[in-house]
Amino acid sequence: MNSYYEKIIERNIGLLTDEQQRTLQKLCIAVFGVGGLGGVITEVLARSGIESFKIVDCDKFDTSNINRQIYAFTDTLDKNKIDVTETFLKKINPQIKIEKYMDVNEDNIKDILKEVNIAVLALDSIKPIVIISRVCSQSDIPLIEGWALPFGNVRVFTKNTPSLEEVYNLPTKGRNISSIPEEEFKQLKNYMLSTLKKIKGIEKFYGAIAVQRIMEGKIPSFAPMVWLNAVLMSIEVMKIALGWGKISLSPNFSLYDPFNNSIPTQEV
């Protein structure tokens, strides 16, 4: 460890051993989507001492992002999210290595995942989700999933768990990506979101206005809920990397209702 790195992680030691900190330092994490969830996740992981990231996002920041996205400011509007994310992460630790991608597809997914230890899914576009989940499973890379819901929620897909397509019962199972029309992928987005109704109590947060906005592609999202879940997903990275506790394995979500301080149930 260089002297700067030793200083920024000094307060970690005691909760982490030196060996555990070195494990984190050597990790390479792929974060798919660096908006609401992914932005917070990258910052938490960088401040925890992880020094290698691959980040993927095709969007630019706009004013509607400011309510919840950690790198969205008046002076970052209309700038590429991956470029802004890189700038902020290097302000934390100039030694951080970052590979940036504007897109994920069948042609580049294996390159993106090369040397990656853990992948984090923080986007809601179904075609790349299916591509990422398939190759992570084939490559034995744990894939952490979460949604910006009022309840904390996180689960992990591995080569030994039910796959993402199986859990959501997607009609894409067993089909070549190239054979699936783009319109079908667009329709599957709302279908995937509708399956989250299996989480007991979640429906009370989504009245008629929320449902209408979801159908229009304007999914309601609120900073406290987004950041709560981003932290839970970040902790899952630590659990996998360091062998801590019990991993939140598919098909179940690990859930937390912060409003009632309780653990919701879910249908599988």
Radius of gyration of the chain (CA): 18
Position 88 scores a pLDDT of 98
Position 124 scores a pLDDT of 87
Position 108 scores a pLDDT of 98
Residue 142 domain-assigned (yes or no): yes
Place of tokens 């801590």: 244
| Count of structural domains, the chain | 1
Position 2 scores a pLDDT of 82
Q: Indicate the pTM of the whole model.
A: 0.96
Domain that holds residue 41: 3-256
Give strand ranges (E) for 127-267: 143-145, 152-157, 254-256
Residue 267 domain-assigned (yes or no): no
**Backbone torsions φ then ψ of 87, nearest 5 degrees:** -60, -45
**How many CA atoms, within 13 angstroms, populate the side-chain half-sphere of residue 73?**
7
Position 214 scores a pLDDT of 83
**How many CA atoms, within 13 angstroms, populate the side-chain half-sphere of residue 229?**
29
Query: H-helix or E-strand containing 29?
Result: strand 28-32
Residue 186 domain-assigned (yes or no): yes
Residue 261 domain-assigned (yes or no): no
Place of tokens 């004013």: 63
Residue 61 domain-assigned (yes or no): yes
Low-confidence ranges of the chain (pLDDT < 50): none
Tell me: the pLDDT tens digits for 139-176?
A: 999 999 999 999 999 999 999 999 999 999 999 999 99
Residue 268 domain-assigned (yes or no): no
CATH number where 239 lies:
3.40.50.720
Tell me: the pLDDT tens digits for 182-218?
A: 999 988 988 898 899 999 999 999 988 988 888 887 8
Position 219 scores a pLDDT of 86
C-alpha to C-alpha distance for 150 and 134, rounded to whole angstroms: 28
- Asked if residues 12 and 48 have their Cβ atoms less than 8 Å apart, the reply is yes
